[in-house]
Amino acid sequence: MTFRLFTTLLHLGLLFLSGLPLSAVAEVRGTDVTGREVVLPEPARRIVLGDGRHLTVLGLLQDDPVALVAGWRQDKGLDPATEAAYLARFPALADVAAVGAGNRLLSVERTIALMPDLVILSLIDARDPQMAMPLQQLDAAGIPVAFVDFFTAPLDHTLPSLRLLGALTGAEPRAEEFARFYTDHLEVVSSRIAEADPARPRVFIHVHAAPTGCCATVGPGVFDDFITAAGAINIGREVVPGVMGNMGLENVLAADPDVYLATGGAHMAARGGLVLGAGVEAGAAQASFDALTATPGLAGLRAVTEGRAMGLWHLFNDSPIHIVAIEALAKQLHPELFADLDPRATLAEIEARFSPVSMPGTYWIPQQ
C-alpha cells in the first residue's frame, strides 16, 4: 500500500466515523512552477519545507504558519533575528524536525517518517541532479511535492508560487490579497519608468559584499530582475552567464558603473562585510557600509566618490517582500521620478497586514 493510498483511506475513515458524507472531502489543486499539477485531498496540514526561509512566505498567508510545518531543511534557513522572532511568537518552532542541512541534501527517510501531506521544494531542487533519486522516492511513497520559486525568476514566478501555496494550504483569499498589493505597488514603479523613459544607469551588484575577495556578482535572475524592474542595467549580465559568478575588482573598475549596489546581511558580520536586515540597528548598518566603501579599490569607483552607492539586504532575494527592494532601488536610481515613494511605509504595511511577527531592522542604505 502506498503512502498516498494509506493517507487517503485514513482520511475517508475519519470522515466515516465522524458521520460526515464522503462529499465533504475538499480536494485542492494547483500547478507548480515546473508545470506539474499538484492535487491534495484537502488543504495541507503537515508540510515539510525544502527551504527553511520559506516559513516567512507561509507567514504571509497564515496566522500561524508554524502549525503547518512538520519539518524543514536548513540549507537555506532563516537568519538568526527572524528565527528568534518566530520562535518567540511560536514556541512550537523549536519542535520542527530537521530533514537536511548543507549542500541541499534532503533526508527522504526523515521526511517520510514525519508523514507529511505536502513537501514544498524550490525550482533549484527540480533542476538539481542529486535530487532525482529523493524525488523518485517521495513519489513512490505517495507524498505530493510542489515546486515554488521566489529566487531564480522572481518577477515571473513569485505570484504563481504564492497563489499555489494559497491554494494548497486553504489560504486563497489571503494569497489574492497579497497578490493585489504586490501588483499595485509594482505597477506604480513600472508605469512611471515606462512613461518617463529615463536613462538606464549601469549598476554593479556586489553580492555578499565584504572588503576581501571582491567581487561576487549576479547574471540573469534574482537581483538582476529587481534592477531591471527599477529601471537600470545590471552590468554583471554582460559577463556572468549563470545566476552567480565573479567579476574581478580590476574589471569592475574598468566597467566604471554608474551605481554601486552592495548586498549583505547578518551572515556578513564575521567577514567584516555589509551587515543589514532584521535586528540590525541603523548605526551598525551604516558603519559596515562606510567601512566597505572605504576599501581600497572600491573607494575609487566613480559611483562611490559621486555618492551613487547603495546597500540592500541580501535576503530580499527569496521572498515576495522583494517588492520593497524594488521600490527602494527605484527611489535611489530615479529620485526625480519617485520622490513621493516610501518603501519604508510599504514594508510597514506588509508587516501590519500580512506578517505574524514584527521585524524591525535596517534593510537598505541610504534610508530614503
pLDDT at 250: 92
**What are the residue ranges in the chain where pLDDT is below 70?**
1-25, 102-103, 368
pLDDT at 80: 92
pLDDT at 63: 96
pLDDT in tens, 168-195: 999 999 999 999 999 999 999 999 999 8
Q: Strands of the chain (E only): list them.
A: 28-31, 37-40, 47-49, 69-72, 97-98, 118-122, 145-148, 202-206, 216-218, 233-234, 244-246, 259-264, 277-278, 309-313, 361-362, 364-365
Picking from 14, 31, 30, the residue whose alpha carbon sits closest to that of residue 22 is 14
Domains 3-170 and 198-365 share a fold: yes
Is 70 in a helix, a strand, or coil? strand
So where are the chain's domains? 3-170, 198-365
Q: What is the CATH T-level fold of the domain 3-170, as seen in this structure? A: Rossmann fold (3.40.50)
CA angle 97, 138, 68 (to 5 degrees): 40
pLDDT at 25: 53
pLDDT at 17: 43
Torsion of CA 127, 132, 134, 137, to 10 degrees: 130
Superfamily of domain 198-365: Nitrogenase molybdenum iron protein domain (3.40.50.1980)
Q: Report residue 2 as a C-alpha cell.
A: 502506498
Q: Report residue 223 as a C-alpha cell.
A: 537581483
**Contact present, 315 and 79 (Cβ < 8 Å):** yes
